[in-house]
């Protein structure tokens, strides 16, 4: 079946055609590990996990790379200010290496709680300093760089189509002088290598042909993506904020070094908003996955909430919507759990589901197909088998869910047993009265295909 994906380079849906026969290259910009990930960041990784699962559902092998930015991301995208890691280290009173380790572990644990598939390759910027230096040297050799008192810069004026991904109007930026230039020649030029300030001992710094210092942020992704996936691979992802600067600069570096725009498809997850503003790490006011867990929210309820909105639309976070998602997921799990094993997936429903997700990951519509299956006349075992197919993409881990073991008070057990006997004797009036008595004690009895089920009301 044909798969269509929205490519931000061409700004249209494109039929997905792999570049190679053996694997699809998928590179996702990873976290800057100076703080915890917030649930907005996690929405972007959930979109990327959905994309990966959809590619696999279509029979592809995916070589999925996520990087860890543990150095080189300055507090301003315009290459000014401190490195976020050094700043985070001072704030936390721990070494930059220690906070990188601590927040990397926290990040991978969040991905795991959200049932995201681990990438094929994790790569850290600090493990690839040599590759970044080689990449900068190659760009320099092609004549795209200049040196200022604080670093080596990329000269964007040398590229006719610099910023095409963002449909950037360079003349507007230069003319308006909205960006502080410093020693930069053009507002859009960016740092490839920054020199360590003479009066400061940095925790993370390395020797280079240009002097002691550290790499710029954009170069790590060009260097690591080119190394693990080749300089021309299939799909590059990130959040929508990366379009204008980070991804435009990754493309500029690869154009200069390898003559490619790095990836054939550029896909972006749109933002999670909170109170109509964007959730950001630097504002300090953000919700972590752990914040939701502390409020008794199952992480997969957040996953389910994200599935309800298309990745190319912004989503407003609300606790009410999250609670509704948790309730709906609970209903889905209960129903799924009660269905018997041993069925066969229904090919016509699977095809309908597949058609929806292959239209640029249209999960909201695919979910409609899922609820239809539950209401359909398929036999129960086939319903379960069909849901198992859908869950390969949805990632709700239905097959491993178990109802919480509930200790039912003896009194309720005894009433339920009496009710079972009255039903057996077709004594409906007594059975109804016993149900009401059980409800009065805060429990609910349900008569499912698998037998009687008692749960907390
Ligand atoms: P960072 O750790 O800040 O580099 O961000 C990690 C990922 O989260 C990047 O792909 C960002 O584009 C993305 N991101 C940042 N803020 C949000 C948000 N509010 N909603 C969705 N994605 C976001
Ligand atoms: Zn990146």
Residue list, CB under 5 A from ion ligand 2:
29, 221
Number of domain units in the chain: 3
pLDDT digits 0-9 by tens, 74-99: 887 767 777 888 888 888 899 999 99
pLDDT at 383 over 60: yes
Domain match, 326 and 259 both: no
φ, ψ dihedrals at 120, nearest 5°: -65, -35
Last residue of a domain, one of 269, 291, 320: 269
In sequence order, the 6+-apart residues with CB closer than 8 A to the CB of 231 are 225, 254, 257, 258, 260, 262
Residue nearest to atom 5 of ligand 1 (CA): 31
Q: How far apart are CA 428 and CA 23, in angstroms?
A: 61
Range of the domain at 375: 274-400
Give the whole-number percent of the chain exceeding pLDDT 90.
81
Q: What is the pLDDT of residues 355-374, one digit of tens each?
A: 999 999 999 999 999 999 99
Which pLDDT belongs to residue 86?
A: 86
Distance 392 CA to ligand 2 centre (A): 27
The residue nearest atom 14 of ligand 1, judged by CA position, is 41
151: phi then psi, degrees, rounded to nearest 5? 170, -175
Q: Is residue 405 part of a domain?
A: no
Mean pLDDT (the chain) is: 93
For residue 73, the model assigns a pLDDT of: 85
Helix 129-141, helix 248-258: angle, nearest 10: 60
The answer on 87 and 195 residing in a single domain is: yes
Q: What is the mean pLDDT of residues 289-310?
A: 96
Upper half-sphere CA count for residue 265 (Cβ side, 13 Å): 25
Give yes or no: residues 157 and 257 share one domain. Answer: yes
The CA distance from 152 to 147, in Å, is: 4
Ligand 1 surroundings by CB, under 6 angstroms: 29, 31-32, 40-41, 43-44, 238-239, 241-242, 269, 271-272, 278-281
Same domain, 319 and 245: no
Contacts of 140 (CB under 8 A, 6+ apart): 152
**Range 283-289 contact pairs with CB under 8 angstroms and sequence separation of 24 or more:** 286/38, 286/39, 286/40, 287/38, 287/39, 287/317, 288/36, 288/37, 288/38, 288/39, 288/110, 289/37, 289/39, 289/42, 289/110, 289/113, 289/114
Q: What would the pLDDT profile of 401-446 be if each residue is shown by its tens digit? A: 998 777 888 899 999 999 999 998 999 999 999 999 999 999 998 8
Pocket test for ligand 1, best of 41, 110, 316 (most atoms within 8 A of CB): 41
| Shared domain check, 231 and 129 | yes
CATH number for 261: 3.40.50.620
Structure tokens at 139: 């760009």
Closest atom of ligand 1 relative to the 41 alpha carbon:
8
Tell me 279's DSSP state: -
pLDDT at 175: 53
The answer to whether residues 25 and 141 belong to one domain is: yes
Q: Strand 121-124 relative to strand 62-68: parallel, antiparallel, unpaired?
A: parallel
> How far does residue 31's CA lie from ligand 2's centre (Å)?
9
Tell which of 269, 288, 316 closes a domain.
269
Per-residue pLDDT tens digits for 267-297: 999 999 987 666 666 654 579 999 999 999 9
149-165 confidence digits (pLDDT tens): 999 999 999 999 999 99
Select from 224, 244, 269 the last residue of a domain. Answer: 269
Do 187 and 66 belong together in one domain?
A: yes
Q: Which residue has the higher pLDDT, 126 or 200?
A: 126
């Amino acid at each position: 079946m044909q798969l269509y994906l929205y490519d931000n380079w061409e700004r249209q849906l494109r039929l997905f055609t792999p570049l190679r026969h053996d694997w699809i290259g998928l590179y996702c910009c990873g976290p800057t590990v100076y703080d915890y990930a917030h649930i907005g960041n996690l929405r972007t990784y959930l979109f990327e996990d959905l994309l990966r699962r959809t590619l696999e559902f279509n029979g592809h092998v995916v070589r999925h790379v996520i990087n860890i930015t543990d150095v080189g991301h300055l507090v301003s995208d315009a290459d000014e200010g401190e490195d976020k890691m050094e700043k985070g280290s001072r704030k936390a009173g721990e070494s930059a290496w220690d906070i990188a380790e601590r927040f990397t572990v926290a990040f991978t644990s969040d991905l795991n709680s959200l049932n995201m598939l681990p990438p094929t390759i994790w790569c850290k910027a600090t493990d690839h300093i040599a590759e970044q230096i080689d990449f900068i040297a190659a760009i320099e050799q092609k004549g795209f760089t200049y040196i200022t008192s604080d670093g080596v810069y990329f000269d964007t004026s040398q590229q006719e189509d610099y910023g095409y991904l963002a449909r950037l109007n360079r003349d507007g930026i230069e003319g308006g002088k909205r960006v502080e230039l410093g020693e930069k020649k053009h507002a859009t030029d960016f740092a490839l290598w920054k020199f360590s300030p003479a009066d400061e001992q940095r925790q993370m710094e390395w020797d280079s042909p240009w002097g002691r210092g550290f790499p710029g942020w954009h170069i790590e992704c060009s260097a690591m993506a080119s190394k693990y996936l080749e300089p021309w691979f299939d799909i590059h992802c990130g959040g929508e904020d990366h379009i204008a600067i980070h991804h435009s600069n990754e493309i500029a570096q690869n154009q200069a070094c390898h003559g490619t725009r790095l990836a054939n498809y550029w896909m972006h997850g749109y933002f999670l908003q909170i109170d109509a503003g964007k959730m950001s790490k630097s504002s300090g006011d953000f919700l972590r996955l752990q914040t939701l867990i502390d409020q008794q929210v199952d992480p997969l309820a957040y996953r389910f909430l994200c599935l309800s909105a298309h990745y190319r639309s912004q989503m407003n976070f609300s606790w009410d919507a999250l609670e509704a998602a948790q309730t709906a997921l609970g209903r889905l799990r209960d129903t799924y759990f009660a269905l018997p094993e041993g069925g066969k997936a229904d090919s016509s429903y699977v095809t309908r589901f597949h058609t929806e997700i292959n239209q640029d990951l249209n999960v909201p519509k695919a979910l409609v197909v899922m609820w239809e299956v539950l209401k359909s006349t398929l036999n129960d075992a086939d319903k379960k088998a069909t849901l198992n197919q859908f869950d390969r993409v949805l990632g709700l881990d239905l097959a491993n869910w178990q109802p919480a073991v509930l200790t039912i008070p003896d009194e309720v057990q005894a009433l339920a047993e009496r009710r079972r006997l009255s039903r057996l004797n077709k004594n409906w009036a007594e059975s109804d009265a016993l149900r009401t008595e059980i409800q009065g004690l805060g429990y609910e009895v349900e008569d499912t295909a698998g037998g009687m089920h008692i749960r907390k009301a």
